[in-house]
Amino acid sequence: MQTQTVQINTGQILQVTAGEFGEVSLYWSGGTQNVFAATINAGEQQTFGPYVDVARLQIVGNATHEIINRSNPVPTLLADVISGETPSAPVTSVNEKTGDVVLTASDVGALPDTFEAPVLSVNGETGVVTLNAANVGALPDTYTPPQGAAVPDATTGTEADTINALLASLRANGTIAT
């Protein structure tokens, strides 16, 4: 497998084209360790740069490359940022504001973060809606089940004491009539 190491100087652009068969891997090369940069599929092309410093790229696989020199090696704004200086910019205002601009939701036609979406209706009711059991088809808190006819105690049989105790419990909690 072919391996090439290419040095790209300040402002240069590296254009790598993978061969027709197999992909090509690229690694940033420096010191004792190489760092993966990209994979280029067979027959495809990828561009790297421009760089503001010297860079070394190792190309592993069948590929051709071209180094392109730019007439303006480092874009002015990028050079300003790297030097720590505030870049000059063509923007003179934002939404008719100048200086250190802070935009609000209304400045950009957005809703504020305090916005609460209105509810148009709930169960057919509008405005301030208070729901009760009847609105949602539930039984009210005051509902008591209808009482059936009184159930007499069991008087005979081996289970009479158990049945009578159960009936007494059901009468006491109002489940059956007394």
Domains in the chain with CATH codes:
3-68 (2.60.120.1030), 145-178 (no CATH)
Kind of pairing, strands 33-40 and 24-30?
antiparallel
The confidence score (pLDDT) of residue 86 equals: 57
pTM of the model: 0.37
**Contact criterion met (CB below 8 Å) for 58 and 33:** no
SS3 66: strand
Which of 39-75 are b and which e, b meaning 16 or more Cβ less than 10 Å from the residue's Cβ? ebeeeeebebbbbeeebebbbbbebebeeeeeeeebe
Amino acid identity, position 162: T
Q: Would you call 23 exposed, middle or buried from its count of C-beta atoms within 10 A (0-12, 13-18, 19+)? A: middle
Give me the tens of pLDDT residue by residue for the chain, a chain 178 residues long. Answer: 788 888 887 777 888 888 888 888 877 777 666 778 888 888 888 887 776 677 787 888 888 888 877 655 555 555 555 555 555 666 777 777 887 788 888 888 888 888 887 777 888 877 778 888 888 888 888 877 766 666 677 777 767 777 888 888 888 887 777 6
What is the C-alpha separation between 80 and 74, in angstroms, rounded? 10
What is the C-alpha separation between 10 and 42, in angstroms, rounded? 28
